[in-house]
Structure 1
Amino acid sequence: MTDRLSAPFVFEQFVNAPRELVYAAFTEAEHLSHWMRPPGMVMTQCGVDAREGGSFHYALRAEAMPLAPVMWGKWTFRELKAPERIVAVVQFSDAAGGVTRHPMAAQWPLYTLSTTTLVQESEGTRIHLEWRALNAEQIEEAVFNSSHAGMTVGWSSSMQLLASYLGKIQAA
């Protein structure tokens, strides 16, 4: 079966860090737990099995609301080509790793496909992210496609956290 993919959401960011470190930041729990979240959220659970067929399973909650329910997510790695490419199926999840709907957008696609390409440049790494609805219904594709502006805001914030985190660990 061939995947049916929507139009891509594309995001690029340059970070002042070597490609190998940026790849590790995307594939190792010790790094992901420091930056992979929207502003105002904290990662409360983080497990990574960085191999093709393995997963990154995590839980987020509002930082200012310690008793608020957590929101689970999961990436299932389709391709890991260190240090240059990561392809993962991304979904909202439950604590056991099962597929769930987006907790705030019932018509969000059950699955999306994320392709992250890391390109070494003279002073750091260019991160190129493409994210698409995967095998989605027409309404799900429309919701995904109409969310690109918000996704840009979210990824911009996460990339600021990543750049700050990479700067701290390189200075240590």
Structure 2
Amino acid sequence: MGRLQGDGGAVNDEFTISRVYDAPRERVWQAWTEPERLKRWWGPKGFTIHTCKVDLRPGGVFLYGMHAPDGTDVWGRFVYREIVKPERLVFIVSFSDPKGGVTRNPWNADWPLETLSTVLFAEHGAETTVTIQWRPQNATDSERKTFAEGRDSMQQGWTGTLDQLAAHLSISRLAKRL
């Protein structure tokens, strides 16, 4: 399993979280960029991915649909801005409809329509540190306030998602040994 680092605290409008994984950077990168791997771990704990399409190029889109534990369908998308294999992914995150059109957060209409995410992959021997930097993009003051007030929820959601990535990497490591 990975080790969680950081406090999820704010620097300006930014939320940051890091996790150390017992896996080589290339395998962690693949987990973030290959649809067959992404659908095994991506999303909040308890959600299942039913749609996962990745066009990994600047301007390309990762479109995903998830079933929430209560049966609700939730859609989201990343629009990739920068891809530096295997070091960095930069993308705009939005809730979406099934066709990829931007929509409001189904649980909080004042959540920013767009957030900017930077995911960094740093290799240290046999381990990889993943650092996620997340902040509102083109947001109103009210949306920025909602983002800032959602830090506990972000910490919980990202921790669950990164736990699922740790489990996926552990399973894929065991499968490679067999």
Q: TM class by shorter-chain length?
A: over 0.9
Out of 29, 33, 40, which is 1:34 matched to? Answer: 40
Task: Give the 5 Å matches for 1:1-172.
Answer: 7-63=13-69, 65=70, 68-172=71-175
Q: Distance in 1 between matches of 2:169 and 2:46?
A: 19
Query: Number of aligned pairs?
Result: 164
Greater RCO between the two (CA within 8 Å, min separation 6)?
1
d(CA) in 1 for partners of 2:68 and 2:91? 25
Q: CA RMSD in A?
A: 1.0
Percent of aligned positions with the same letter in both sequences? Answer: 38
State the alpha-carbon separation in 2 of the partners of residues 137 and 55 from structure 1: 24
SS in 1 for 2:57: coil
**TM-aligned CA deviation for residue 69 of structure 1:** 3.3
| Greater shift in the superposed pair: 133-142 or 18-27 | 18-27
Look up the equivalent residue of 2:112 and give its one-letter code. P
* 2:6 corresponding residue in structure 1: none
Q: Distance in 1 between the 2:151 and 2:68 partners?
A: 22
Q: Distance in 2 between matches of 1:69 and 1:158?
A: 18
| Alpha-carbon displacement from aligned partner over 1:36-64 (angstroms, at most 9, x marks no partner) | 1111111111100111110110011124x
Runs (4+) off by over 2 Å: none
Q: Deviations along 1:130-167, whole A, 9 cap, x unmatched?
A: 00000100000000111111111111111111011111
| Structure 2: runs of 5 or more not aligned | 1-11
